[in-house]
Structures are given as structure tokens and as C-alpha cells.
């Protein structure tokens, strides 16, 4: 049996768990290719025009997988990974959206994912899959427990400072990497963005490469452990509703207040509702702390030149001010 997983959205955070989980159940796993023009064009055709670009891209990945002879496409309903906080409604409604707008109902493999922390390996989440996959409760439990180990290893590597795709690769190869620290003379930038925007080179237009070419040490929210960030909410009387937005908020406030970075870039997809709050909060914090802050807004039309110019200009100026 072949299970398709899109290389999009939370793949860049939970992919290592899901891939390992299905493989340990003895299933074939097909991961869609890195986003390319054909995938995004497929997505744009079916998605409503107003929706954010990561969802359009996701739709393209689903359609691409559907053409790859897979038996099922995995579309989990991500509900909550923190008490009284939830995912963006687009995540919660994803299985319905896919069912009704992409027209491959019988191929959808779905379950609700609920947890009280970012570790979603509790096997009970995945029991609804057992029947379709022809597996027992015990099979599911064992596979989830094994996959959890892989995921924790992957998370450990991201916390050593490796961008998620690199951490994934290191985990698969079974390597034991060392922590990445800023090299002397390097500019340190905090890159705040959702995993699916940062790590999809098509959306981010290869921002990691551009930063690397500019000799920048990058810190992202997923390079912190959940506990490091918990309760870093500054002067906010309450937190936001959306979990990953809160992760970014906490990481941002932490970075603005801990002398770890020279500047902060907020990478956001055009039309992201939660990010409109985040952006303003970062802006205010930047003014308060005197740490330069820049918003980079991307959507399907973004030209690479635009991004390269902005990132280059930003790092240039940080370097120049540091040199003075």
C-alpha cells in the first residue's frame, strides 16, 4: 500500500514523524517533490484566489500525489497542540477542504491530531487509520512509539541550529552533528516564519541560501525547545489563539530580548491573518529594543530579485552598522 505525504505545510515540522510512522507500519511512503512551478500552477487553478500561498501550494501537492498512483493521501486534521490554543482554521478544516474542492474523496486518509504539547505521537490520534490501513491497534501503537524517537531526534537536531530539511537529513543518515554557533564576524539574524514558508524554497525563494551567501547565522523559532519559549509573552496580557503564531511570537520576543541576534526578519505570506498581529507586535518590540526588523512578504507572484534585493540590503546595513 502506498501513502502519499505532501512536501508542504507541516511536513517541515511533523514530516519526520509521519514518514517514519507509515514506514514502520510496513507501508510505502511517497513524498511529493519539492514545490516547483508545475505544482504551484496546479494549486492555483483549484484554490480560491484569496487564500494564502502555502495553502495553494499544498493543493498543488495533493493533486500531484493523486497522479502518482498512491492508495491514500494523508490529510490530518490538525486541531491543537497546546491547551486552549488552536491551529489556524485552514488547518482544522483541511480534510473537508480537500474532500470538497479537490474531488478525490476516497483517497483521503485522515484523523484528528490533538495533543497538550508539540509532540503529537500519542498513538490514540492515529487509531482511526487502523481499519483503512488494515492494521491492528497494537501495530499503530508500536509504529507511533518508534516514530516518536525519530521525531525527537529530528527536533534535537533543529535545536542544534540546523534548518529543518538539514536536520531531517541528518536524522535519516543517523549522524551525530555538533551545535552550530555564530562564527566570529558573522551577522546574526533571527528569521521568524512558519516552517512551510521558511523551508519551502519555492515560497521563501531560497532565503536560507541567500542568507548563507551573505554570511549570516540564522536562528529560527524551531531551533528552540518548547520549554525554552513557554511563557515568554512579555507584556502581553494574553497570548494569541494560534499555536504556531505563538511559537513565533515567543521566539521573537525571546530574540528581541536576549542579545542573540543583530536583526530580525519576519517572513510572511501575503494575506496571513495571524501574521498581521504578529508583524505589528514585532514592529513595536523592535522600536522598543532598537533591534532592526524587516518584514518580507511573499506570494505566488514574488520575483526573486525583489527578495534578494531586500535581504541583501538588510544584511548589508547590519554589517555596515556593526563595522562602525
Partner 1 sequence: MSKVFLGIDVGSVSTNVIALDHNYELLFNYYARTSGQPIESIKTGLEKFHSQYPDLIVAGVGTTGSGRQLAGVMVGADVVKNEITAHAVATTHFHPEVRTIFEIGGQDSKIILLKDGIVVDFAMNTVCAAGTGSFLDHQAERMKIPIEKFGEMALKSKNEVRIAGRCTVFAESDMIAKQQYGFTKEDIINGLCQALVRNYINNVGRGKKLEPPFAFQGGVAANVGIRAAFEKEIKHKVIIPKYFGVMGAIGAAILAREKIEKSQEKTTFRGFGALQTEFVPKSFTCNGCSNSCEVIRVTAGGKTIAVWGDRCGTWKEKMKQSLSEAI
Binding residues (CB under 8 A) for partner 1: these are: 36-39, 206, 292-295, 304-306, 308-310, 312-314, 316-318, 320-321, 324
How many Cβ atoms sit within 10 Å of the Cβ of residue 69?
9
CB of 321 to partner 1, least distance (A): 5
Nearer to partner 1 among residue 34 and residue 176 (C-beta): 34
Nearer to partner 1 among residue 25 and residue 211 (C-beta): 211
- Residue 216 CA neighbour count, 13 Å, CB half: 29
CB of 38 to partner 1, least distance (A): 4
Nearer to partner 1 among residue 44 and residue 142 (C-beta): 44
CB of 37 to partner 1, least distance (A): 5
Whole-angstrom Cα distance, residue 168 to residue 69? 25
Nearer to partner 1 among residue 191 and residue 318 (C-beta): 318
CB of 197 to partner 1, least distance (A): 17
Nearer to partner 1 among residue 238 and residue 320 (C-beta): 320
CB of 297 to partner 1, least distance (A): 10
DSSP string, 51-72: S-HHHHHHHHHHHHHHTTT-SE
Nearer to partner 1 among residue 259 and residue 287 (C-beta): 287
How many Cβ atoms sit within 10 Å of the Cβ of residue 321?
12
Beta strands per DSSP E along 170-224 = 187-192, 216-220
Closest CA to 74 of 23, 136, 149: 23
Whole-angstrom Cα distance, residue 18 to residue 14? 6
Q: Write the CB contacts of 226 (distance below 8 Å, at least 6 apart in sequence).
A: 117, 118
SS3 helix, strand, coil % of the chain, rounded to 5? 55, 15, 30
CB of 117 to partner 1, least distance (A): 36
- Residue 277 CA neighbour count, 13 Å, CB half: 12
Amino acid at each position: 500500500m502506498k501513502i502519499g505525504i505532501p512536501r508542504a505545510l507541516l511536513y517541515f515540522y511533523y514530516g519526520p514523524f509521519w514518514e517514519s510512522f507509515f514506514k514502520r507500519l510496513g507501508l510505502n511512503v511517497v513524498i511529493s517533490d519539492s514545490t516547483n512551478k508545475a505544482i504551484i500552477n496546479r494549486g492555483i487553478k483549484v484554490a480560491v484566489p484569496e487564500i494564502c500561498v502555502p495553502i495553494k501550494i499544498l493543493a498543488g501537492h495533493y493533486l500531484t500525489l493523486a497522479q502518482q498512483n498512491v492508495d491514500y493521501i494523508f490529510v490530518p486534521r490538525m486541531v491543537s497542540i497546546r491547551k486552549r490554543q488552536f491551529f489556524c482554521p485552514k488547518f482544522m478544516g483541511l480534510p473537508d477542504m480537500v474532500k470538497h474542492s479537490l474531488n478525490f474523496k476516497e483517497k483521503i486518509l485522515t484523523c484528528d491530531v490533538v495533543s497538550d504539547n508539540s509532540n503529537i505521537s500519542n498513538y490514540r490520534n492515529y487509531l482511526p487509520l487502523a481499519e483503512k490501513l488494515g492494521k491492528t491497534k497494537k501495530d499503530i501503537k508500536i509504529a507511533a512509539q518508534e516514530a516518536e524517537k525519530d521525531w525527537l531526534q529530528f527536533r534535537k537536531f533543529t535545536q542544534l541550529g540546523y534548518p529543518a530539511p538539514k536536520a531531517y537529513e541528518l536524522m535519516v543518515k543517523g549522524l551525530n552533528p555538533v551545535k552550530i554557533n555564530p562564527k566570529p564576524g558573522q551577522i546574526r539574524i533571527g528569521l521568524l516564519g512558519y516552517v512551510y514558508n521558511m523551508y519551502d524554497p519555492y515560497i521563501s525563494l531560497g532565503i536560507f541560501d541567500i542568507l548563507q551567501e551573505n554570511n549570516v547565522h540564522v536562528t529560527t523559532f524551531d531551533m528552540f525547545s518548547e520549554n525554552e519559549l513557554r511563557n515568554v509573552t512579555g507584556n502581553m496580557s494574553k497570548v494569541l489563539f494560534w499555536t504556531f503564531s505563538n511559537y513565533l511570537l515567543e521566539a521573537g520576543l525571546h530574540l528581541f530580548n536576549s542579545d542573540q541576534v543583530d536583526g530580525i526578519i519576519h517572513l510572511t505570506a501575503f494575506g496571513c491573518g495571524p501574521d498581521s498581529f504578529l508583524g505589528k507586535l514585532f514592529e513595536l518590540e523592535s522600536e522598543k529594543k532598537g533591534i532592526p526588523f524587516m518584514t518580507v512578504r511573499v506570494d505566488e507572484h514574488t520575483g526573486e530579485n525583489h527578495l534578494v534585493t531586500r535581504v541583501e540590503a538588510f544584511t548589508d546595513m547590519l554589517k555596515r552598522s556593526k563595522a562602525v
